[in-house]
Amino acid sequence: MRRAFIPSTDLVPRVEKGEPFAVARMISRAEASSSEAREALGALYRKAGRAHVVGVTGVPGSGKSTLVATLVARLRAAGARVAVVAIDPSSPYSGGAILGDRIRMQEHALDEGVFIRSMATHGAMGGMAHACLDVVDILDVAGYDTVLIETVGVGQDEVEVANASDTTVVVSAPGLGDEVQAIKAGILEIADIHVVSKCDRPDSNRTLTDLKMMLKDAPPRDGWRPPVLGLSSLRGEGFEDLMDAMARHREALAGPGGVARRRAIAAFRLRKTAETILIERFRGREQGSVDALAARQQDPYAAASELVRNFTGEKADA
Amino acid sequence: MRRAFIPSTDLVPRVEKGEPFAVARMISRAEASSSEAREALGALYRKAGRAHVVGVTGVPGSGKSTLVATLVARLRAAGARVAVVAIDPSSPYSGGAILGDRIRMQEHALDEGVFIRSMATHGAMGGMAHACLDVVDILDVAGYDTVLIETVGVGQDEVEVANASDTTVVVSAPGLGDEVQAIKAGILEIADIHVVSKCDRPDSNRTLTDLKMMLKDAPPRDGWRPPVLGLSSLRGEGFEDLMDAMARHREALAGPGGVARRRAIAAFRLRKTAETILIERFRGREQGSVDALAARQQDPYAAASELVRNFTGEKADA
C-alpha cells in the first residue's frame, strides 16, 4: 500500500512534539529545498531560537569529527539532548554524501537523545547553507538543547555556515603541514572558541603557544575575547573547559554583542535564501547557445547578459 | 602624476602581445569582476582556446603545490611557457589570499616564461569560478602554452573549476587520515589522470594498489581511461609520465569525446556567468526586514520571496 503524502505544514506540530518520523521527513524536504516545504520551514523558523547552535569547524585532519563525537557524549552525559548536522564534502556528480549516517558515531545509534545527520554539499549555489540552517531550525523546534553544525573549514559556504551559529568553535591540531596551516589561517577569525585538539601529543604545546601568540593582538569578537583551549579526545581531557566556554559565550551573547550577531546571521540567511530562490526561478532559462560558445564564436558575458535581460525583463542598456 | 585609466578594450591587443603590464592589469579587472572589463573579457574568450588548460586538484596535504612547482620547472625545461592560477582558500572577511604570489615558487620569479597568480576564493557566490576561467583565457591569449589551475579538492566551486579544464589531474598521497581520504573520494571521478604523489614513501605502493583497485570498474571518461601514475616530487621521478599522459589526453580530446567535454565546459561557464550577473543585479535589493527576522517574527522564505518578486516583477502567485 502506498503511503499518503503528508503536507509539510501538517508535519510542523509533529516536529514540535519531537516525533522521529516527522523530524526525519521534514529534514529530507529541507535538504531537497522542496518548494512545498517552504511555508512549513517558515513556520519552524519563527518557532526556533531555543537551542544553542554551535558551529564546529577545522581543516581536514584537525580531529574535529572525533572531538564532536566526544563532545556529544559529554553533553549527553550532562543531560542535554544533542543533535549534529555534519556537512560532508561530496561528489558534485554522484550526489551522495560520503560519510553516511550509519558509519558515524555508532555508539549513539540507539540513543533517542542524540540525532546525527550527514548532509551533502552538492546542489544549487549557496543552497547548502540555507538548507543546513533550515535543518538546524527543525532540530531546534524538535527539542534538541544543543545543535552542533560540523563543517570542514575549507570552502566559503562551509565556513559561512559554521559562522552562522550562536557559538563558533575552530579546531586546530599540532603537526599539520604548511598547506593545511595556511588554510587554517582563513578560519581563525570566525572563532568564538579556539580548540587545539590532540593535546596528548608532545608537539601540542608549541601549537597552543603559536596560536596564542598569533591571536594576541586580535580584536574582541562582539565584545568577547575568544579563549584558546587544549583538548585530547584520546584521553577525554579538556571537554569540561570547552562546555564551560560554550555556556559562557552563550550568556555573553545575551548582551549587546549578541544583537549585532543575530542581525548579521539573519541578514546572511535572508541573502542566501533570496539568492537560492532567484537562481531557482532562473533555472532552465540558462540554456543558451552552448555550441557557439564551445566554438568560441560567442562569449559567456554576451550570452549570459542576454539570458538575464530576458529573465528580468530589462532593456538592453538598463 | 596620476596615470590615466586605460579602458579594458584597449588592453586586449596588448594582452595578445603578452605585455606583462597589460596581462596583470587585465587579470586584476577579471578578478574584481569589473563590469567595465566584460566586453574585453568577451573578446579575449573568443580569441582563447590555444593553450592546454590543466586542472590540478587534491586534498590538503596531498603535496599538490610541490607537484605543481616541479611540473612547472619540467614543462619550462621542455620549452613551454607556463602559467599557474592557484585558487587559495581565503578568509571570507579579510579578503586576502593566504599564500601570496611572492612566497610561491620563488625559483621562477625571474623567468618571464613562467607566470604565477594566486586568487582568493572570496566574493560573490560562484564568482570565483567564472573569474578564474576569465584569468585562464587572458593567460591563454597572452601566449602561455600550458595554463595550470591549482585548486584544493574541497568545496564545490573548487572542484568544478578544476573540472572545467581540458585535462584534470587529481593528486592523491599515501598516509593521509580517514577524514581526508573520504573527502578525496568525492574528487576521484573528475580525474583524467590520477597521480599518487610522495612515491618515495614506503607506503605509496599500497596507495597505488588501493587506487587502481577502486578505479577498476570505473567507466571511461569521454572515451578515455584515466591512468594512475606514481610520482615523487622529492626525487623528481614520474614527471615524464605525467607530461606524456597530459599530451596524450589532449590529443584524445581532439576526437569525439572532446566535443561533449567542450560543450559541458561552455554550458558551465554560461551558467556561472549568468548566475553571477543575476546575483549582481539583485545585490542591494536583498536588504529586507532583518530586525523582524532576527527576532524570528518573520521567516527568511517569506521575506526572500517578496524581495525576489519585487526584483523580477512577478505577481505573488506567479
DSSP B164-229: SSSEEEEEE-TT--HHHHHHHHTTGGG-SEEEE--TTSTTHHHHHHHHHHHHTTPPPBTTB---EE
Looking at beta carbons, which residues of chain B come within 8 Å of A37? none
DSSP codes, B10-55: HHHHHHHTT-HHHHHHHHHHHHTT-GGGHHHHHHHHHH---SEEEE
CA distance B36 to B88: 26
Q: Tell me the backbone φ, ψ of residue A314, rounded to 5 degrees.
A: -75, 155
Q: What is the distance between the alpha carbons of residues A158 and A89, in angstroms, rounded to a whole number?
A: 9
pLDDT band at B174 (very low <50, low <70, confident <90, very high): confident
What ipTM was reported for this prediction? 0.80
Nearest to A270 among B262, B303, B314 (CB): B303
Residue-level pLDDT at B108: 57
Query: Taking a C-beta distance cutoff of 8 angstroms, is the pair A15, A44 a contact?
Result: yes
- The rounded distance, in Å, linking the Cα atoms of A54 and A58 is 13
**A278 and B278 in contact by Cβ < 8 A?**
yes
Phi, psi dihedral angles at B224 (to 5 degrees): -120, 135
Nearest residue of chain B to residue A273 (CA atoms):
B304
- The answer to whether the Cβ–Cβ distance between B46 and A296 falls below 8 Å is yes
What's the CA gap between A140 and A101, in Å, rounded?
A: 19
C-alpha to C-alpha distances, A269 to A248, B279, B296, nearest whole angstrom: 25, 15, 12
Which of A278, A283, A285, A307 should one mutate to test binding to chain B, selecting the residue with the greatest count of B CBs within 10 A?
A278
Q: Which of chain A's residues have a Cβ under 8 Å away from the Cβ of B89? A: 154-155, 183, 186
The CA angle A244-A263-A121, to the nearest 5 degrees, is 75
pLDDT digits (tens, 9 = 90+) for A177-210: 655 565 566 677 889 999 999 999 988 888 888 8
Rounded to whole angstroms, how far apart are CA atoms A21 and A272? 28
| Cβ neighbours of B176 in A, within 8 Å | 61
Q: Which residues contact B31 (CB under 8 A, 6 or more apart)?
A: B119, B131, B135
| Sheet strands (E) in chain A | 52-58, 82-88, 114-120, 146-152, 167-172, 193-196, 228-230
Looking at residues B177-182, what average pLDDT do you find?
A: 58
Q: A294 vs B158: CB contact, 8 Å cut-off?
A: no
| Predicted local confidence at residue A62, as pLDDT | 81
User: Would the pLDDT of B157 be above 80?
Assistant: no
Does B278 contact A281 at a Cβ distance shorter than 8 Å?
no
Of all residues in chain A, the one with the smallest CA distance to B309 is: A278
Q: pLDDT of A7-50, one tens digit each?
A: 999 999 999 999 989 999 999 899 888 889 999 999 999 999 99
* Residues written for chain A: 318
* pLDDT, mean of residues B33-53: 93
A54 in Cβ contact with A169 (< 8 Å): yes
> The CATH number of A47-257 is which of 3.30.70.360, 3.40.50.300, 3.40.720.10, 1.10.1040.10?
3.40.50.300
Residues of chain A in contact with residue B47, where contact means CB-CB under 8 angstroms, are 296
B89, B290, B293: residue with CB nearest A186 = B89
Task: Return the CATH class of domain B47-256.
Answer: alpha beta
pLDDT digits (tens, 9 = 90+) for B268-292: 899 888 888 888 888 877 666 788 8
Q: Which residues, in sequence order, are CB contacts of B287 under 8 Å at separation 6+?
A: A267
Nearest to B186 by CA among B228, B213, B214: B214
Per the DSSP assignment, residues forming a β-bridge with A119 are A87
pLDDT tens digits, residue range A222-265? Answer: 789 999 999 998 898 999 999 999 999 999 988 777 888 889 89
pLDDT score, position B90: 39
- A122/B156 touch (CB, cutoff 8 Å), yes or no: yes
CA-based nearest residue in chain A for residue B126? A125
Q: Which residues of B touch A88 (CB under 8 A)?
A: 182-183
CB-CB contact of B282 with A274 (8 Å): yes
* pLDDT cut 90: percent of chain B above it: 37
Query: What is the pLDDT at residue A90?
Result: 39
Chain B residue numbers touching A156 (CB-CB < 8 A): 92, 121-122, 125, 128, 155, 157
CA B3 to chain A, closest CA, distance in angstroms equals 28
pLDDT of residue B186: 66
Q: What is the dihedral of CA B213, B217, B221, B227, to 10 degrees?
A: 30
Residue B17 scores a pLDDT above 90:
yes
- Report CB contact under 8 Å: B190, A93: yes
C-alpha A193/C-alpha A242 separation (Å) is: 8
Q: Which of B45, B158, B296 sits opposite A45 (nearest CB)?
A: B296
State whether A304 and B277 contact (CB < 8 Å).
yes
Mean pLDDT of A150-164: 76
Best A9, A88, A125 residue to mutate vs chain B (most B CBs within 10 Å): A125
Is residue B37 pLDDT above 90, yes or no? yes
pTM: 0.76
How much is the pLDDT for B92?
32
Q: Using the beta-carbon criterion (under 8 Å), do A180 and B61 form an inter-chain contact? A: yes
**For residue A250, how many C-alpha atoms fall within 13 Å in the half-sphere facing its CB?**
16
Residue of A nearest to B301 (CA): A42
Largest CA distance in chain A: 66
As a whole number, mean pLDDT of residues A144-160 equals: 81
How many residue pairs bridge chain A and chain B with CB atoms within 8 Å of each other? Answer: 266
Mean pLDDT of B154-182: 77
Question: Which of A173-187, B82-96, B210-224 is predicted with the least confidence, judged by mean pLDDT?
Answer: B82-96
pLDDT at res. B104: 45
Q: Which residues of A touch B269 (CB under 8 A)?
A: 293, 300
Residues of B in contact with A307 (CB under 8 A): 270, 274
Adjacency order of strands within the sheet including A167-172: A114-120, A82-88, A146-152, A52-58, A167-172, A193-196, A228-230
From the CA of A2, how many Å to the nearest CA of chain B? 31
Domain chopping of chain B, boundaries:
47-256
SS3 state of residue A152: strand
Q: Hey, are the CB atoms on A294 and B266 less than 8 Å from each other? A: yes
Tell me what the mean pLDDT of segment B120-141 comes to.
77
Chain A residue numbers touching B299 (CB-CB < 8 A):
41-43, 45-46
Q: What is the pLDDT of residue B210?
A: 85
3-state secondary structure at position B97:
coil
Q: Which chain A residue's Cα is nearest to B99?
A: A182
Residues 6+ apart with CB under 8 A from B260: B222
Cell of B57: 586538484
User: For chain B, how big is the Rg over CA atoms in Å?
Assistant: 21
Whether A48 and B160 lie within 8 Å, measured CB to CB: no
Which residues, in sequence order, are bridge partners of residue A194? A170, A228
B140 neighbors B49 (Cβ within 8 angstroms): yes
pLDDT in tens, B219-236: 888 789 999 999 998 898
Cβ count within 10 A of residue A140: 23
Q: Which amino acid is at B205?
A: N
